Chain A
């Protein structure tokens, strides 16, 4: 047990990095997801095709392959950024594909009358998306997006495999020093579980707040 408390500062630092990566890459993923879904439900065939290919490619590649490609491959063509920055960007692009799919299922769940009514009122494509379709789509996908948030938190741990010292890597380092795996790994696991529990609590509250009677 003392192994855990002696190294609390390192582990805490790791947890902070994990939280920062989670928040920044989730924000990025939401932006990517919104752009992709707007392209995918829009009337322009080329943009639809691009968005479809994007989602298909990103969902079928392992995140670790993307991370390795970005961290070890991109410097070869002269694109070099900080390790954590690279990881955050890759995770945002990867999870953005999942957010786009979740949003699309939300858009598809909206009855056609809503879009028709928006157009009958003279709203443009962008306006009807922003004022009518997306607000309703977001409500129906609170739970799936919460699940993506939890998966994203778990996925930030993969950055440890390419050298970012976040919670998983910090726990591993402390264990290599102390050789007390059980308390250290259980402690790290509990921290992840706590983040997931918070996310679950917030999505539960949000879902109840935003629920619309149909």
Chain B
């Protein structure tokens, strides 16, 4: 653990740590008691208000929502990554007329809220005769906004590959496109894998905008359920727990990849791994 700020505690420090531990535990217990009291005082702890979430039909419905969430996340991640690679290559292009629009796209989209894009697809496009199916009304804005984020990740990855790699590829007679595809991109993709996974967690969180689009992903399914059975807080707590389990697993995967793929260190302070011979 971080020993930056304290040494091995002596007797006095141990006493102080013990006091702080007791105080911390007391505060936690007080908060917990307060929460339980609020739940109980409003009759929300009654068994029949939680019972439904021990039955399979409820879970079948929620897991159906989770499946739709996964579907929307995977499709928009695929689109956003494809767009992101294209934009990253565009931003690093030697031709100014490619470089400029890519940079403009990335910089512009990064400063527009995803919800505004959703509203645009939801309310503006139909006016111009483009009424997408519900699924795409959620996926298109997510892909558009996340493409910019993926573009920056890929660009950082490509720039972290040593110049010599590309130069060596060119010296071997590969064309510019070949050296990018066969030499630089595979190395870059490996290095940015952890960032890609954590950005995908962000994208999965963004799919909760289905709530606005009324696409039945997890959160909107929760809303439908809550309106049907009137168990508002119970339903939303269950939904939140499902999100937590899924996203925490993905985040753990990102951390695992971060440690194993590049041999330690975060993306910012990673040492360039050397080729062993």
A residues in contact (CB < 8 Å) with B: 41-48, 50, 56-57, 59-66, 68-69, 72-74, 76-79, 105, 107-110, 112, 114-115, 119, 125, 128-129, 133, 150, 154-155, 157-158, 160-161, 168, 171-172, 175-176, 179, 181-182, 185, 188-189, 192-193, 195-197
Contacts and interface: CB of A to CB of B under 8 A. Distances in A.
Contacts of B17: 43-44
Contact of A43 (B9, B108, B112, B211): B9
Interface residues of B, number: 60
Given A60-B244, A61-B244, A196-B111, A77 B2 contact: no
Interface centre among B17, B28, B236, B243 (most CB of A within 10 A): B236
Given A65-B243, A176-B123, A188-B116, A107 B4 contact: yes
Contacts of B25: 46
A184 B28 CA distance: 47
Given A47-B24, A77-B41, 20 more contacts: A44-B17, A46-B20, A57-B244, A60-B205, A60-B244, A61-B205, A61-B244, A69-B240, A76-B233, A78-B38, A110-B4, A119-B6, A168-B115, A181-B123, A181-B124, A189-B112, A192-B112, A192-B116, A193-B112, A196-B110
12 contacts: A41-B2, A43-B9, A44-B21, A61-B244, A61-B247, A62-B219, A69-B240, A73-B233, A150-B110, A154-B114, A160-B115, A185-B124
A64 B219 contact: yes
A150 B113 contact: no
Contacts, number: 170
Given A62-B219, A77-B233, A168 B205 contact: no
Contacts of A155: 113
Contacts of A172: 119, 123
Given A44-B24, A47-B20, A171-B119, A60 B6 contact: no
| Majority-rule SS of B interface residues | helix
A166 to B, nearest CB: 10
Contacts of A47: 20-21, 24
Contacts of A50: 24, 28
